[in-house]
Amino acid sequence: MKLTKSFFLFLTTVLLICSLGNAQETVAHPKSEFRAVWIATVVNIDWPKNGIDSIEKQKADYLEILDTYKKLNYNAVIVQIRSVGDAFYPSQLAPWSKYLTGKEGKAPANNFDPLAWMIDEAHNRGFEFHAWLNPYRATMDLNTAVLSPTHDFFKHPEWMIKYGGKYYYNPALPEVQTHLVKVVDEVVTNYDIDAIHFDDYFYPYKIPGEQFNDSLSYKKYNNGLALDDWRRDNVNAFVKSCAIAIKSRKPWVQFGISPFGVWRNKSVDPKGSDTQSGQTNYDDLFADVMTWMEYSWVDYVLPQLYWSMDHRTASYSKLLKWWSENSKNTAIYIGNSSYKINSDSDKRWNNPYEIPNQIDITRSYKNVNGNAYFSAKSFVNKNKAVTDILMQNQYKYPALPYVVPNSRKAVTDIPTIFKTTTTNDNSTVTLHYPVVSKVRYVVVYEAKNGANLNLNDASQIIDKIAIKETKDTINIVIKKNTEDKKNRYALTYIDYYGNESMATPVTIKPEKKPTQTEIKNESKQ
């Protein structure tokens, strides 16, 4: 049965690729697809494994995550760089994170900037780097004695609201919104990131019997709005301000938000999903996702659909369909819960095909263009049965992330070859530096066994190389396929928005061996 099904899928895929080209819902191996993983730093979930680890060990552990997901053909990492009013980078606005150095406010040794290093290493492997910030959460508990004197809890106690055993920034205060926008702007200004990313924490999840005490702010700033509408308006104003700050600084940097998976239940709103969720974005977290999309304040929405496909109260399949039908103006990706594999009360997660099946159904919706997985440790030396399925099927070949929404354009420059140098193992192609376009990567394509080059064929992508040089030329090293003398190569540019240039064919000739006369002449010199 499996062989028959696989052969039928293969045959169908080949026919559809030939006839429909880029229609994502019919391609088994799409060339363009967002494939991301969250790397959580709060309480050392994924990285660093311990705040007191040496820098060398922290580096090794981070590279292990990158290399694991590079082999799985992922193309983006979402790395948490601010979780509780702290920072994983030198900041004028927040203390160093205790999850990095063991003590809040303590800097890494030797002026090490972990964020700059993490971005470089991600780009070196062809990943987009999405800088993940939690804007409103100020602490993870009430033990303020461990906070740095430079933490906002001490600098601005009037900004804080105690709730659920934590402290939160008050979203209603104009000075809080201004400060948090500055936090975002500092990162965008100082670092070569591809995106700013927020998760689902806006107003905190509701706790029975406890009130989020913003009554004084409401009396002062309500502008005649009902409490719930006023809270949503506070979040909307902040999201809009962040969008403006990001795009005015670096228009290619994306702004993405990963909201809770349920907007509203149908029992409350006919436009809601067929779910029975205990909490929702709109009614409990005051996250008005539909408005963000309506006004294009975000480039992508990545709802967290952390349930199995046939879950009784919140089905992945039903929610996927709902988000597909209700998306507007932005890219839509889906968040998947790899952390639940073999470790959840819902026994469907014991099936190694749960995640692969979720990918397959996600691809059936043309306007849903990829997935992200929480969290990184789920596939690092774990759950091999699932990763094997992905490597042999859904993620067998690389894919390029999508162009920043509303930024599709022609790349003026194309790779122009200055010279090619060949050895037994490698060829170094020297390109003239692009004159007009702001280019981040060179993509290398290889057609094997004499086949024609096809830039829509994901199997022909063999490398994605970050451009590091800022001089007149760029050196691209291509490892030769010594078993295939008929291989063909081509190069393209990827600009900072994700647009791909036209291709330049590359002729790689066998290494020219010196003649006996040339050897004799060389020996006489």
pLDDT in tens, 90-137: 999 999 999 999 999 999 999 999 999 999 999 999 999 999 999 999
- The pLDDT value recorded for residue 483 is 58
For residue 389, the tally of other CB atoms under 10 A from its CB is 18
Query: What CATH code is assigned to 23-392?
Result: 3.20.20.80
Q: How confident is the model at residue 513 (pLDDT cuts 50, 70, 90)?
A: low
pLDDT at 17 over 60: no
pLDDT at 519 over 70: no
pLDDT at 1 over 80: no
509 vs 61, which has greater pLDDT?
61
Q: How far apart are CA 289 and CA 454, in angstroms?
A: 39
- The pLDDT value recorded for residue 19 is 33
pLDDT tens per residue, range 232-253: 999 999 999 999 999 999 999 9
pLDDT tens per residue, range 146-169: 999 999 999 999 999 999 999 999
- The pLDDT value recorded for residue 449 is 86
pLDDT at 18 over 90: no
Asked if residues 63 and 39 have their Cβ atoms less than 8 Å apart, the reply is no
Q: How far apart are CA 281 and CA 33, in angstroms?
A: 26
Q: Could you tell me which of 69, 23, 78 has the C-alpha nearest to residue 363? A: 23
Q: How far apart are CA 99 and CA 39, in angstroms?
A: 13
Parallel/antiparallel/unpaired status of strands 195-198 and 128-133:
parallel
Average pLDDT over every residue of 359-369 = 98
**E-assigned strands of 134-245?**
160-163, 166-169, 195-198
Q: How confident is the model at residue 511 (pLDDT cuts 50, 70, 90)?
A: low
Query: Which class in CATH covers the domain with range 417-506?
Result: mainly beta
- The pLDDT value recorded for residue 44 is 98
The whole-chain average pLDDT of the chain stands at 92
Angle made by CA atoms 228, 231, 233, in degrees to the nearest 5: 110
- The pLDDT value recorded for residue 507 is 85
pLDDT at 506 over 50: yes
Average pLDDT over every residue of 29-40 = 98
pLDDT at 58 over 60: yes
pLDDT at 32 over 50: yes
- The pLDDT value recorded for residue 409 is 96
- The pLDDT value recorded for residue 521 is 52
Domain ranges for the chain: 23-392, 417-506
Q: Burial, 55: exposed, middle or buried (Cβ in 10 Å; 0-12, 13-18, 19+)?
A: middle
Q: How confident is the model at residue 454 (pLDDT cuts 50, 70, 90)?
A: very high
Query: Residue 445 has what DSSP assignment?
Result: E
* Residue pointed to by tokens 């064919």: 505
Q: How far apart are CA 315 and CA 31, in angstroms?
A: 28
pLDDT at 21 over 50: no
Q: How confident is the model at residue 182 (pLDDT cuts 50, 70, 90)?
A: very high
pLDDT at 434 over 90: yes
pLDDT at 293 over 60: yes
pLDDT at 488 over 80: yes
| Rg of the chain on CA atoms, in Å | 25
pLDDT at 512 over 80: no
Flag whether the pTM goes above 0.85. Answer: yes
- The pLDDT value recorded for residue 422 is 87
Q: How confident is the model at residue 515 (pLDDT cuts 50, 70, 90)?
A: low
pLDDT at 13 over 60: no
- The pLDDT value recorded for residue 8 is 34
Which run of H or E residues covers position 358? helix 354-363
